Amino acid sequence: MADTLVELVEGCRLPVLRKNQENEDEWPLAEILSVKEVPGKKLYYVHYIDFNKRLDEWVTPDRLDMKKLQFPKKEAKTPTKNGLPGSRPSSPDRDVRKSLDLNLQSASAPSRGKTLPTPKRKAESVSLTSQGSAAPSVPSLPSSAEAPQASVFPAVVRESFSNKSREEHEQLTVANGTTRRLVPSQPGRKRKNCGTDEDSQDSLDGIPSAPRMTGSLVSDRSHDDIVTRMKNIDCIELGRHRLKPWYFSPYPQELTTLPILYLCEFCLKYLKSLKCLQRHLTKCNLRHPPGNEIYRKGTISFFEIDGRKNKTYSQNLCLLAKCFLDHKTLYYDTDPFLFYVMTEYDSKGFHIVGYFSKEKESTEDYNVACILTLPPYQRRGYGKLLIEFSYELSKVEGKTGTPEKPLSDLGLLSYRSYWSQTILEILMDLKSDNGERPQITINEISEITSVKKEDVISTLQYLNLINYYKGQYILTLSEDIVDGHERAMQKRHLRIDPKCLHFTPKDWSKRGKW
């Protein structure tokens, strides 16, 4: 119970009562971000330390443990260039519409990304060989003395070969009964540094590149204004669903005081009341996202939307997405982007399920800039379906692709799960010739899946799939791995059918300025 004699201010830390996933009471440490008065009491907006920002909320004084109150430490004022003391950033107004934190996130169920135990049976192996161009570099691995069993599934693939291994072909063995040899990358050739999610444990040891300052979705970790840290929309009504936003979104300020923000589920226009929405629906002719339908199978459709031709829809889509995405900057310049919206069809129209965006021209081979499954459709396989669709587009384009980094926590889990299932699917389908272990290269895996080579290697590294055994690198597929993969694939009912995709890639470099 809060002591009324003690005034709580922004920056104070203390335990706050909340319910965990098991609906049990817990008292995690939280920081007070804002205080407001309502008739009869005060409310405190708190951020739970070491918890995701989506759990931030307004709490009443009776949920605060004043016995363990920590007041904010006084910090020395930092002088600015003109010698004046520094001050806290002012609240964003017009500027906040130009830049906001946005994170790449897919909302599918978390992957089965845990290190598996030592297999009970001896694993078979597959050698990864190089054909044609060299595969990406793999680091030195433990000696055979350190990894005595080829059947041990947990093993680590690193980024680059040692100097010695760069001069000779090394071998990888995969435990599904076959062996494949991995050839090091060409001498003197350097791989691009690629930033990864700050929470990622399979870092590519790259240096995050500077954020792009064009387009509607730009990575920017530095922007963390006190206003943008707080949710400003209480509830959104979208069709038959009511959504509770997770993060700040720069909707017009006059709409943030409303108990419910109403959106047209077809054009995504925002309105302040149900009556305004009903009036709008009598005039709105859309029953599907504007753009071309490039895929339909059953009730699932994908629409391709040009950010220049359909600017208003694209901007409204970004505003909605910002409610559930964090740690990127939202810009209103959507011209350089394409948006692929997934919908479910019924008698009333095509209802938005999720979407991903991509740059028309990407120098970093990004095939996804931002990806989201709306909360009502999460944990139903739609996240992986969006990811799979993005790679099907890359296959048609004849390119390998990768999502823009950094990935969010949920986005990272979804991509890890998709990469793992896709690569294991290929390895398990390998056939041996004349009793010899089948051979495949990292390049071939990348070409078959359109997954960038760095992501293939990082996935093998995350899965601890590679061992060093008798002078060669070995991929081991244990019985546990095979069984776990088969169980996961049985649950994955939604798949993209390439025959239903009607997509012709455009060469945007020859189309002027879009």
C-alpha span between 512 and 394 (Å, rounded)? 22
Distance of CA 475 to the CA centre of its chain: 27
Question: What are the tokens at 452?
Answer: 């960038």
Pair 244, 121: CB distance under 8 Å? no
Listed in sequence order, the residues at least 6 apart from 379 whose beta carbon sits closer than 8 Å to its beta carbon are: 107, 108, 109
Backbone phi, then psi, for 438, in 5-degree steps? Answer: -65, 155
Catalytic residues, which ones?
A: 404
CB atoms within 10 A of CB 476: 29
Radius of gyration of the chain (CA): 26
**Nearest alpha carbon to residue 320 among 358, 276, 355:** 355
User: Before 406, cis peptide (omega within 30)?
Assistant: yes
Pair 163, 124: CB distance under 8 Å? no
Backbone phi, then psi, for 234, in 5-degree steps? Answer: -80, -45
Distance of CA 312 to the CA centre of its chain: 25
Listed in sequence order, the residues at least 6 apart from 313 whose beta carbon sits closer than 8 Å to its beta carbon are: 267, 268, 289, 290, 305
